Amino acid sequence: MAGTVAAARSDALNQKIKNRHRSSWYQGWKRFKRNRLAVVGLVWVVLFFLAGIIGPWVAPYDYRVGDFLAINQGPSWQHIFGTDNVGHDMFSQILYSVRSALIIALGATLVSFVIGVILGLWAGLRGGLADVIIMRGVDFMMTLPGFLFALILVVLLGRGYWSLILAIGIPGWAGYARLIRSLVLGMRNGEMVEAATALGASQAHIARRYMLPNVVGSMAVSLAFGIPGDLAQIAGLSIFGMGLQPPIPSFGNMLAAAGDNILGFPWLLYFPAGIFAITLLAFLFVADGLQEAFSPKGGN
């Protein structure tokens, strides 16, 4: 009798556990959803990406063609964000800008990330002299103002998409390398790796199956923080006249142009600057949410 009760109880318990068993990714997503700001940020980021992808098709006007009969107009039904001094529709300009901003920011982040991961893994796994050299390189990069470095690279490489991606991406590797190295070092002497070694797994196998998957979460978080940083850098370069060549619309170019007319035609500043600022915030909220959801310390 008692046996059947116990059996029934353990059956019920198993059922409960079965319904609950989900990967840590799923758990992370559940934690992410609880963070309202992060979800709002994510919605904005998704819209931003959407605008980047389909923007040129839904933009009401061509970014190259100005309407000379409607220059410097305030917001209206024809031009909801107004027009600039050659009659470009600001809304269309912004839609196009999203695309260029995203291409460069994602490209640059990817460049930094790939260099950083390779060097960080190398330093962490190999140790010894490789570690010393790479980490002194990291220190060196950290002491340089990244923006100035990027500015110099743009001057050397030119103002195209590729050169901007490289100019912003190359100086950014140090942070990623340092993060990966510290994660790898932490694990290399940890129990999990010891247990895997005791199981007879080879070093390469451990790096691939045990270490890499366990740093993906932290890397995703650092990537999420990296993108808005690079977005801001692009705009900064444009404001200095070192961004994309002007007929190509970009947030930086718009802001730089708007600065000249800030008193007469403030909407030229308000709309691009506002949208840009909200976008940066949204990215940061998402990154924050990811960190909370996936960082080892935040787990329950």
Partner 1 sequence: MSQPLLSIDNLHVRFARSEDEVYAVNGISFDVYENEALGIVGESGSGKSVTLMSSIGLLRENGKISSGTAHFQGKDLLKLKPRQLEDIRGRDIGVIFQDPMTSLNPIMRIGDQIMEAMLTHRYASRKEAFERTLQLMHEIGIPDPKSRFKNYPHEFSGGMRQRIMIAIALACEPQLLIADEPTTALDVTVQMQILALLQDLRRKRGMSVVMVTHDFGVATNFCDKIIVMYGGQIMEMARTDQFIRRTAHPYSIGLKRSIIEVGHRGKEILPIPGASKALTEEPVGCPFAARCSFATERCFQETPALRIYGEDHHIACHHAEEVARHAV
Q: How far apart are CA 112 and CA 177, in angstroms?
A: 9
Cβ at position 213, least distance to partner 1 in Å? 5
According to CB under 8 A, which one of 189, 204, 263, 264 is a site residue for partner 1? Answer: 189
Asked whether position 186 contacts partner 1 by CB under 8 A, the answer is no
Q: What dihedral do alpha carbons 54, 58, 60, 63 form, nearest 10°?
A: 20
Cβ at position 3, least distance to partner 1 in Å? 14
Tokens linked to 10: 């353990």
Residues 240-269 as x/- pattern, contact with partner 1 by CB under 8 A: ------------------------------
Asked whether position 204 contacts partner 1 by CB under 8 A, the answer is no
Place of tokens 């000379």: 68
Q: Using the rule CB under 8 A, give the single segment among 31-39, 163-171, 193-201, 266-274 that binds partner 1.
A: 193-201
Q: How far apart are CA 86 and CA 80, in angstroms?
A: 16
Q: How many residues bind partner 1 (CB under 8 A)?
A: 28
> In this structure, are residues 164 and 234 in contact, taking their beta carbons and an 8 Å threshold?
yes
Asked whether position 196 contacts partner 1 by CB under 8 A, the answer is yes
Asked whether position 3 contacts partner 1 by CB under 8 A, the answer is no
Asked whether position 156 contacts partner 1 by CB under 8 A, the answer is no
Q: Using the rule CB under 8 A, give the single segment among 12-20, 72-80, 138-146, 234-242 that binds partner 1.
A: 12-20
Asked whether position 195 contacts partner 1 by CB under 8 A, the answer is yes
Asked whether position 24 contacts partner 1 by CB under 8 A, the answer is yes
* AA identity, residue 100: S
59 to 88, contacts with partner 1 by CB under 8 A? none
Cβ at position 23, least distance to partner 1 in Å? 6
Q: Which of 200, 137, 124 is nearest to 173 (CA)?
A: 137
Sequence-separated contacts (24+) of 139-146 with Cβ below 8 Å: 141/171, 141/173, 141/174, 142/174, 142/175, 144/171, 146/171, 146/172, 146/233
Farthest-apart Cα atoms in the chain, separation: 92
Instruction: List residues binding partner 1 (CB under 8 A).
Output: 10, 14, 17-18, 20-24, 189-192, 194-202, 205, 209-210, 213-214, 299
